Structure 1
Amino acid sequence: MSVSEPAGRRKLRQVLRALCKNIQDLELYEFDVHQGKAHKINILSLELEEQSDARPIFFTPCSASIMADPVESMTEEGQEFIEFDSFPEYDRDPLSCSRWLFDRFSGYIASCGVYSNCDEAYELDKLQSKLSMTEPPFTNLDQYSYPEWLTVLATKIAKGPQPHIKAFVCNNMNGTDTKVLRGKVMVTLRLMIAQMKFVRFVEQFTAPVKSVSPLHRNPRY
């Protein structure tokens, strides 16, 4: 059975592709609020307070009942916290350290499902699946020339009509509270475009992407 894409949605995908190409060709490496508006990027403040008007719209916090103790749940062999000075010299570069942080974060999330003994945690874990970033449409998420960025890991909702992606991105630039790095913008746009190619999202006009970037002096979400 063929599915017809709404004309407005098709137009939106064209706009996203044009915006992505425009950002890619810029020599600008970061955007403040005014620079963002000039390139059709709306940069809004974000607060994690539940009652705040600036709280996340498309993402909700996990229930406290499924959050394991971050110390007690990470005591098995291979999960121990490692101080920076304990790393071999060749593993102290920012990218290696950020990969270790990602691995530890992923390990903690997995531990939540085990230690909480909660059906909700199990169901949440089943909903997520890792993206293969070497196969279309989830490709071209890295840049190895200055300013470098690298998408280390990304997950998506495995089923259902709502798009939802979380990505872990390393940027070789410092981030601030008032500016957004071009690498993060490029990854976000490409993930949005990729999500909107799926037939099961044909009725959706939004493609939320949550990106986490630990590799700079001021990590940002």
Structure 2
Amino acid sequence: MSAEPAERLRRRKVLFDIEAKVEKLQDHQLSASQLKNLKISVLPMVLDEKSDLKPTFFAACPSVPELDEFDLGEYPSAKTALQFDPSGDFVRPLDRAYALEDYLVHYTCRCENRKWLEGTPTPWSGGCVADYHPFKSLYQYSDPEFGALRLTDIAGKEHPHMKAVIYNNIEENEQEYFRGELLAILRLMFGQMKQRRFIQHMISPVLVFSLMGIQRARVIESYFDGENLILRSTGLYDFREKDVKGLKDFAGWWIGNPIGDTISSTGRAHLSIHTDGRIIVIAAASETRYIVGPVTRDPGSAERSETSPGKVYILHSSTAGTLHVPIEGPQRVTARRRPDGCERCAIHILLLGDGGRRQGAD
């Protein structure tokens, strides 16, 4: 059995420290600034394969059956539940999470059965929480409760990816993240990294479908980049009434395949570049001495060369994230808006070689 790489051991220790700090928190809802102090970075994400903000390590199933192709029973409308139970005893966030997950599991299981019959089964196995042994418990029974409703991973040693449906018995808040969400993510991630079958993988991505409030939900893709826990989150979905597109989005990404480079320690490394007291962040493709040219999600596709004094290089990026450019000697770095005519990116970063002199940003 191969020995664990030193870099991987270091990453596990950092994750262990982050989890310990989150566990001790008294606050159950955390802002982006609070998360930053915990080495947790928040970035946007959308469940759209055509978008540059799509998940990095998880793909959607290209063809998801329509809901009306199956007999899924009556949709668990929150309005109907409130009419049936005006006192609210059975419309806590926890109760509505169970009702929504019951509907979702019927739909996704039928989608998986369809793919199996078509000869293209999904690689995911399991689904029962009791089948897994994460780093620590995924449940808190004191108020506010949180826990896992469903887990799935992939057999073998090729893919350390994991997916989970979790709940938090707390009102929805799009601007903040829940302590329960963070603990579930960190404990699942750390549990994967403890397994020797994944000893060559530096990254163990986790995709959580987080249910909260009165049938609200969001999807969060999480991975550790070597320095920070990255949370890429969608906005809130409203499932109080039947949202066909939202349900199909959830099903598509639940049964979709794993993707991305999880072995290379440099494929998703991140570093903030500080210039003139400001931090400039965009998405990086690879860790090289310099990254010059169009920056993409594919770790092997970025053009690379070294800079020279007085020459300007443009880094294109179409998504928010962090740029990793290990530079020997100071560089002048400045962010610009997308110029007219450039359809590739939302932000430009200019690196200007300056012969080793520290210069401020333009």
Q: Please tell me whether residue 61 in structure 1 is matched to residue 60 in structure 2.
A: yes
Structure 1's unaligned 5+ residue stretches are: none
CA deviation vs aligned residue, 1:51-103 (integer Å, no higher than 9, x gap)? 43322101111111xx122022125xxx4435553797575443233222212
Please list the CA deviations of residues 185-219 of structure 1 after superposition, one character each: whole Å capped at 9, or x if unmatched.
11000000000011111111111111112221542
Larger radius of gyration between Structure 1 and Structure 2: 2
Do the aligned residues in 1 keep the contact of 2:151 with 2:164 (CA within 8 Å)? yes
1:14 counterpart letter in structure 2: K
Relative to 1, partners in 2 of residues 1:118 and 1:159: Cα closer, same or farther, differing over 3 Å? same
* Aligned counterpart in structure 1 of residue 199 of structure 2, from 190, 197, 202: 202
**What is the number of equivalent residue pairs in this alignment?**
212
TM-score using structure 2 length:
0.53
> In the TM superposition, what is the alpha-carbon distance from 1:156 to its structure 2 partner?
1.2
Picking from 127, 135, 155, the partner of 2:152 is 155
- Give the equivalent residue in structure 1 for 2:124: 127
Alignment match, 1:30:
29
Q: Structure 2: state its 5+ residue gaps.
A: 220-362
Q: Contact 1:73/1:115 (CA < 8 Å) preserved in 2? A: no
Counterpart CA distance in 1 for 2:112 and 2:57 is 23
Q: Which has the higher strand share?
A: 2
In the other structure, the counterpart of 1:50 is 49
Amino acid at match of 1:99: Y
CA contact (8 A) 1:133 1:139 kept: no
Mapped pair 1:81 → 2:75: yes
2-side partners of 1:178 and 1:86: how far apart? 27
- State the alpha-carbon separation in 1 of the partners of residues 57 and 125 from structure 2: 16
Q: Which residue does the alignment assign to 1:170? A: 167
Partners of 1:199 and 1:113 lie apart in 2 by 29
Comparing 177-186 with 135-144, greater Cα deviation is found at 135-144
Q: Distance in 1 between matches of 2:81 and 2:34?
A: 42
Structure showing the higher helix proportion among its residues: 1
TM-score by length of 1: 0.84
For residue 103 of structure 1, what is the aligned residue in structure 2? 102
SS at match of 1:214: strand
Shifted more, 83-92 versus 129-138: the winner is 83-92
Distance in 1 between the 2:93 and 2:129 partners? 24
Distance 1:71 1:51 in 2: 25
- Greater relative contact order, per chain length (Cα 8 Å cut-off, separation 6+): 1
Q: Percent identity?
A: 29
One-letter amino acid of the counterpart of residue 8, structure 1: E
Instruction: Using the TM superposition, give the Cα deviation of residue 136 of structure 1 relative to its aligned residue in structure 2, in angstroms.
Output: 3.2
Number of the residue aligned with 1:13 = 12
